[in-house]
Amino acid sequence: MEALQSNIAHIGKPTSRVDGKLKVTGRARYAAEYPAADLLHGVIVSATVPAGRITKLELDRARAVPGVVQIFTHENRGKAAWLDRKWRDEVAPPGHPFRPLHSDRILFDGQPIALVVADSFEAARDAASLVRAEYDIDDFCTELEVRRPEAYDPPEKRSGIPPPPEPRGDAEDAFDRAKHRISSEYRINAEHHNPMELFGTTCVFEGPGQLTIYEKTQGSQNSQGYVTSVFGLRSKNVRVINHYVGGAFGAALRPQQQLFFAVMASLELKRSVRVTLTRSQMFYIGYRPDTYHAIALAADNKGRLTSIMHDAVAATSHHEDYQEAVVNWSGMMYHCDNVKLSYALAKLNTATPCDMRAPGASVGVNAFECAIDELCHDVGIDPLEFRRINFASIDENTGKMLTSKALLECYQQGAAAIGWDRRPVKPRSLKDGRELVGLGMATGMWDAFLMKAAAEAKLTADGRLEVSTAASDIGTGTWTILAQIGADALGLPLEAITSRIGDSTLPASPVEGGSWTAASNGSAVMAACEAIKATLFKHARAMTNSPVAQAEYDDVVFAGGRIALKNDLARSLSFAEVMHAADLAEITETGKAAPSLLQMRKYISYTHSAVFAEVRVDEDLGVVRIPRIVCAAAAGRIINPKTARSQILGGVVMGIGMALHEEAMTDHRLGKIMNHSLAEYHVPAHADIADIEVIFVDETDEKVSPLGVKGLGEIGIVGTAAAVANAIFNATGRRVRDFPITLDKLLA
């Protein structure tokens, strides 16, 4: 910490991705691009009904395709673990993990029912299209509204997801007695991740029981653990590599179908095998579940919140109880003495939902922040003022103190940047041509986690530093920030640092999710670098005629590849000299990061944001434009403002998608998603995105992580959809409570 502060060169400086050139020139290899000798290609055949049993599989025509090597079905699948727990990965929710080809049972539409393996992709694909299946279809339901009355409190809680807090005060009574109150129901439709890169795995068969797996995953070690457990292999014989990941948004946290299939086929056929999902198959590997939100809020005349009730129902599958923290945020965004929250699940015949950028918060906070806007309107108070009045300085769910919360600065700087004072007080009162103009805002909040992570740093006598940890870079900028951290720790130029990530053989790392990588892996890298410095210093002092012989560690700085006395920089030793004297070709040290349990008893950390949107809505046609969004975030120390900004931009764009575009269109009679392509599943196009301004407010947090970093991957989406919806209300006077807000909902 000390050294960093005295010698900050790269941390905090906008830095282009170190892997950028490889990516834009096509030299960065993704999972399905690795060559392998004698590679076989597997293509998955998916079920076309949502529930039932396979009664007949017709494979003859497929088998007859020249080049087909094998077709795996539930009748001849390779050996795999029987017990449920063997299939559980690091982030699995409670329940029975999906086991591909386990039996003739169909659990959801799009479920894989066969794998065709051939010596060319074309042959495999051709043959796969010739597989015919017949089914006995069971009763099914894919409509949350229908199952909602049967919603239940999940008996087993998902690890890492706090259940809703116990009620405090008497929310119902306070609601009944309140001067101002609103009670509304929100619905947010299911969404699909749709990262650019298709899910793919290239499994290289190195010898019996020995595999190198190039895999699209957010956690190489999670995938490795899954493979060893499911197939009974030894950890040292399974290496998983995920150097580059073309987006994931949570969809690649859990091992997906293609990993199982590539490995199974590879072990059975003793050949290398590649399996890639199609775009439309990616609609069946997990999704952001649909949610309903019944929200009741009350306030007094002065705009002080007196009651908060938020009851959410979310979809899950029949086989797993997928859970997220949806309503918890409503109990801690603002100060309120009477709070009652609940979260229930309803089972649908779909794949298990999975984490998608800011899971839980992006929907829960969205609905809640819209409801808050309704309440502000009822009280007749400016929404920004309301949020200042109800500012919560602790986490009221747990009573814990916050390590930092520069949210008021977010409000202030965000409001100034959007020109909040232009906001028409009366809805539907500002017009420009045929467009109704409105401004809206919302608060955003996300966890700031520090997870257990380890790293290694290796300094060589030529002044190069290598930092390694099994982290992933899913477009987030991990390659770059780890290099920046290493550079600053040892006072070396960025070019002298090599990051190594995306490999299960590297020091332990959690999956890349929850916005915790920069804080956790970054801190572990820093700790490893600190250890190198200590070792260097030890050897430096031991040298004959050492200028630092009498110095304490605090008396020296590491800069320009040298150790120097702080108060006499001219007296210094190069790393090379020190290492030479100690007869060392390299120094290798490890470092760890872990949350402090002691601190966690008293403190908790969150990232905060204030999102402001200006919208324009055609008064007759309902066409919505968003000329400007400002997202002001308080996220602790920003290591790389350039990649950090990209993270927020991406989150905001996805928030716009949630507000206006994204939804799975399901035919509930068939139990099938119908818009399973990027032509029909709409995400924002360029034309939908105009000016997005990202502000990072100063926030110093010495407690959240050794680096003072909070993480940024998810905060950008939280609150954005609500800011847009609230702006639409301000512009049109119309409150749409059903997301996405497509133009038909604004026509009436």
Partner 1 sequence: MNRFDYIRPDTIADAVAALAAFPGAKALAGGTNLVDLMKYDVATPARVVDINRLPLKAVEDTADGGLRVGALVTNSDLAWHPQIAKRYPLLASAILAGASGQLRNAATTGGNLLQRTRCYYFYDTSTPCNKRVPGSGCSAIGGVNRIHAILGASDSCIAVHPSDMCVALAALDAEVEVEGPQGRRIIPFAQFHRLPDHNPELDNTLEPGDLVTAIILPATDFGRHHTYLKIRDRLSYAFALVSVAAAIAIEDGIIGDIRVALGGVAHKPWRDRNAEQRLRGEPPSEATFLRFAEDVLRESEGCGQNDFKIELARRTIVRALMQATRGTPQDQSDKVVR
Mark the segment that binds partner 1 (CB under 8 A) among 9-17, 524-532, 616-624, 628-636.
Answer: 616-624
Mark the segment that binds partner 1 (CB under 8 A) among 70-78, 381-389, 468-476, 676-684.
Answer: 676-684
- Cβ neighbours for 46, distance < 8 A, ≥ 6 positions apart: 109, 110, 111, 112, 113, 281, 284
CB-nearer residue toward partner 1: 630 or 660:
660
CB-nearer residue toward partner 1: 173 or 667:
667
Query: Per residue, what are the HEC states of 438-469?
Result: EEEEEEEEEECCCCCEEEEEEEECCCCEEEEC
Interface residue with partner 1 among 1, 137, 549, 674 (CB under 8 A) is: 674
Mark the segment that binds partner 1 (CB under 8 A) among 352-360, 487-495, 673-681, 696-704.
Answer: 673-681
**Residue 688 touching partner 1 (CB under 8 A):** yes
Q: From the CB of 112, what's the least distance to partner 1, in Å?
A: 14
Q: From the CB of 432, what's the least distance to partner 1, in Å?
A: 9
CB-nearer residue toward partner 1: 385 or 667:
667
Task: Please give the backbone phi and psi of residue 59, each rounded to the nearest 5 degrees, phi first.
Answer: -115, -5
For residue 254, how many other CB atoms are within 10 A of its CB? 27
- Is 156 known to be catalytic? no
CB-nearer residue toward partner 1: 141 or 481:
141
Interface residue with partner 1 among 29, 464, 682, 734 (CB under 8 A) is: 682
Mark the segment that binds partner 1 (CB under 8 A) among 281-289, 349-357, 514-522, 669-677.
Answer: 669-677
Q: How many Å apart are CA 737 and CA 489, to the nearest integer?
A: 50
CB-nearer residue toward partner 1: 61 or 566:
61
CB-nearer residue toward partner 1: 278 or 460:
278
Q: How many Å apart are CA 163 and CA 323, to the nearest integer?
A: 9
Amino acid at 116: V
Mark the segment that binds partner 1 (CB under 8 A) among 188-196, 263-271, 402-410, 614-622.
Answer: 614-622
Q: From the CB of 186, what's the least distance to partner 1, in Å?
A: 20
The torsion of the CA quartet 138, 144, 150, 155, rounded to 10 degrees, works out to 100
Q: How many Å apart are CA 173 and CA 307, to the nearest integer?
A: 9
CB-nearer residue toward partner 1: 534 or 674:
674
Q: From the CB of 534, what's the least distance to partner 1, in Å?
A: 55
CB-nearer residue toward partner 1: 390 or 742:
742
DSSP state of 620: T
Q: From the CB of 504, what's the least distance to partner 1, in Å?
A: 34
Question: What is the layout of strands, in order, in the sheet containing 305-317?
Answer: 339-348, 305-317, 291-299, 180-188, 738-739
Q: What is the bridge-based pairing of β-strands 68-72 and 112-118?
A: antiparallel
**Residue 146 touching partner 1 (CB under 8 A):** no
Q: How many Å apart are CA 166 and CA 339, to the nearest integer?
A: 9
Interface residue with partner 1 among 79, 600, 621, 702 (CB under 8 A) is: 621
Interface residue with partner 1 among 6, 76, 677, 700 (CB under 8 A) is: 677
- Cβ neighbours for 175, distance < 8 A, ≥ 6 positions apart: 181, 296, 297, 298, 306, 307, 309, 338
For residue 388, how many other CB atoms are within 10 A of its CB? 14
Q: From the CB of 366, what's the least distance to partner 1, in Å?
A: 19
**Residue 687 touching partner 1 (CB under 8 A):** yes
Q: What is the bridge-based pairing of β-strands 132-137 and 180-188?
A: unpaired
**Residue 747 touching partner 1 (CB under 8 A):** yes
CB-nearer residue toward partner 1: 434 or 452:
434
CB-nearer residue toward partner 1: 287 or 329:
287
Q: From the CB of 101, what's the least distance to partner 1, in Å?
A: 19
**Quick check: 418 and 614 in contact, CB under 8 A?**
yes
CB-nearer residue toward partner 1: 227 or 660:
660
Mark the segment that binds partner 1 (CB under 8 A) among 255-263, 314-322, 636-644, 684-692.
Answer: 684-692
Q: Which of residues 425-484 bind partner 1 (CB under 8 A)?
A: 433-435
What is the SS3 assignment for 243?
coil
**Quick check: 214 and 162 in contact, CB under 8 A?**
no
**Residue 359 touching partner 1 (CB under 8 A):** no
**Residue 601 touching partner 1 (CB under 8 A):** no
Q: How many Å apart are CA 510 and CA 521, to the nearest integer?
A: 9
Query: CA angle at residue 399 from 394 to 401, to 5 degrees?
Result: 45
Location of structure tokens 């209300």: 729
Interface residue with partner 1 among 392, 594, 670, 736 (CB under 8 A) is: 670
**Residue 734 touching partner 1 (CB under 8 A):** no
DSSP state of 520: H
Q: From the CB of 625, what's the least distance to partner 1, in Å?
A: 6
Structure tokens at 350: 């779909």
**Residue 52 touching partner 1 (CB under 8 A):** no
**Residue 139 touching partner 1 (CB under 8 A):** no
Interface residue with partner 1 among 672, 703, 710, 737 (CB under 8 A) is: 672
CB-nearer residue toward partner 1: 48 or 342:
48
Q: Which of residues 9-48 bind partner 1 (CB under 8 A)?
A: 48
DSSP string of 85-99?
GGG--TTPPSB----
Interface residue with partner 1 among 387, 608, 616, 645 (CB under 8 A) is: 616
- Cβ neighbours for 443, distance < 8 A, ≥ 6 positions apart: 333, 365, 369, 387, 407, 608, 609, 610, 611, 719
Q: From the CB of 435, what's the least distance to partner 1, in Å?
A: 7
**Residue 143 touching partner 1 (CB under 8 A):** no
Interface residue with partner 1 among 38, 139, 552, 620 (CB under 8 A) is: 620
Q: How many Å apart are CA 331 and CA 329, to the nearest integer?
A: 5
Q: From the CB of 288, what's the least distance to partner 1, in Å?
A: 19
**Residue 1 touching partner 1 (CB under 8 A):** no
**Residue 129 touching partner 1 (CB under 8 A):** yes
Q: How many Å apart are CA 27 and CA 476, to the nearest integer?
A: 18
Q: How many Å apart are CA 537 and CA 542, to the nearest integer?
A: 9
- Helix, strand, coil percentages (3-state) for the chain, rounded to 5, are 30, 25, 45
Number of residues that bind partner 1 (CB under 8 A): 38
Active-site residue, selected from the candidate residues 215, 530, 589, 714: 714
Q: From the CB of 54, what's the least distance to partner 1, in Å?
A: 14
Q: From the CB of 125, what's the least distance to partner 1, in Å?
A: 7
What is the SS3 assignment for 745?
helix
**Residue 60 touching partner 1 (CB under 8 A):** no
Q: Which of residues 628-667 bind partner 1 (CB under 8 A)?
A: 660-661, 665-667
Q: Which of residues 246-275 bind partner 1 (CB under 8 A)?
A: none
Location of structure tokens 């049993």: 53
Interface residue with partner 1 among 85, 623, 691, 738 (CB under 8 A) is: 623
Cα atoms in the Cβ-side hemisphere of radius 13 Å centred on 237: 16
DSSP state of 320: B
Q: From the CB of 674, what's the least distance to partner 1, in Å?
A: 4
Burial class (CB in 10 A: 0-12, 13-18, 19+), 393: exposed
Q: How many Å apart are CA 32 and CA 71, to the nearest integer?
A: 21
CB-nearer residue toward partner 1: 45 or 639:
45
* C-alpha to C-alpha distances, 555 to 43, 490, 527, 540, nearest whole angstrom: 62, 15, 19, 13
> Which spans of this chain sit near partner 1 (rule: CB under 8 A)?
48, 125-126, 129, 433-435, 616, 618, 620-623, 625, 660-661, 665-667, 669-670, 672, 674-677, 679-680, 682, 684-688, 742-744, 747
> So which residues are the catalytic ones?
714
